[in-house]
Amino acid sequence: MIINPYSFGVAYDPDAQAFITAAGITDNTQKSAINTLVVSMKGFGIWTKMKAIYPFVGGTATTHKFNLKNPADTNAAFRLVFAGGWTHTTTGAKPNAINTVADTFLIPSTSLTLNDQHLSYYTRTNSNLTEVEIGCNVVGSPPNTLLEIRTLGITYVSIAAGTYTTYTDPNSLGFYLGSRTASNSIRLFKNGSNVASGTTASTSNPNATLVLGGLNSGTSGIQFRTQKECAFSSIGDGLSVTEAANFYTAVQAFNTTLARQV
C-alpha cells in the first residue's frame, strides 16, 4: 500500500504556520504565499533582520493586524491597531488620508539600533500629494524616521536624522525601502533598485511609536496622512544593496501569488 504523504496536509515552515494559525488564514493560496515568503526570506538571510513584517493577507482588519515575525496579539509583539476608516480587502489595507492610522507600538529609540535599521512600504496607489506612509518624530521635530512616498514628485527617506535623502519619482507604485547601515550611509530602494544614496549623519532615534498611514509627531498628533494602499510593510535592521534586492524578489513573488503586484 502506497501512502500519499500529502494526504495528511501540507507541512509549512513553523514560523509561517504560527502566523497562519494566529491570523486564522484558511485560503490555500494565501497560506502557500506566506510559507514561500518566509522560506525565501530565510534563504536570503534576511529573516533574522526583521522586527516586524506586515503581509496584509486575509482581507480583514483582524488578519491584517498580525506581525509575521511574532504573531502574538499584543503591543509587545508589534501587532497593528487600526484607527479610522481603513478599507481592508485581499489586495491590502487602504487608508483614507482623513482619519486613518495604524499603530505598530514599535519605538525606534528602544527597539532599533541607531545605525542599523530599515523601513519598507509596498504601495498599490499612484498619488502625488503630501503624504507620509510610515514614520515618526517627536513633536514635529527631528530626528525623523520615515518614508514619504512621492510628495509633489519627490520621494523622501530619513532614518534617525534631521534631513532627507530624496528621489525624483515618476509614480508611487511598488516596494519602497529605506535603509541605514552606518552613521553616514543611507539608501532608498524602489522595486529592488538603489535609486538614491546619502551620507546624512544619524543623530538619534525618535522616542515615539512608528505608525503606518501617516507621521506620528508625538503630542502634535498624526500628520500627513496617506491614501496609498499598503500590500506589505516591514521594520528591522539595515539591509545591504544585495539584501534589499533579494527582499524585493521575495516580496514581489509573494504579491504576485496573491495577484496584487504592481
The tens digit of pLDDT for each residue in 198-219 reads 999 999 999 999 999 999 998 8
In a domain, 232, yes or no: yes
In a domain, 135, yes or no: yes
**C-beta separation of 32 from 257 below 8 A:** yes
The tens digit of pLDDT for each residue in 172-207 reads 999 999 999 999 999 999 999 999 999 999 999 999
Give the residue among 169, 188, 165 at the shortest CA–CA distance from 238. 188
**C-beta separation of 66 from 22 below 8 A:** yes
SS3 assignment, position 201:
coil
The tens digit of pLDDT for each residue in 17-49 reads 999 999 999 999 999 999 999 999 999 999 999
In a domain, 3, yes or no: no
Residue 122 sits in a domain whose CATH number is: 2.60.120.200
Q: CA–CA separation, 13 vs 19, rounded Å?
A: 10
Burial of 259 (0-12, 13-18, 19+ CB in 10 A): exposed
Residue type for 206, please?
A: P
Residue 144 phi, psi dihedral angles, 5° rounding: -105, 150
In a domain, 140, yes or no: yes
In a domain, 4, yes or no: no
Structural domain tally of the chain?
Answer: 1
In a domain, 38, yes or no: yes
**C-beta separation of 210 from 91 below 8 A:** no
In a domain, 2, yes or no: no
Domain that holds residue 50: 9-257
In a domain, 54, yes or no: yes
Q: CA–CA separation, 113 vs 2, rounded Å?
A: 53
The tens digit of pLDDT for each residue in 212-238 reads 999 999 889 999 999 999 999 999 999
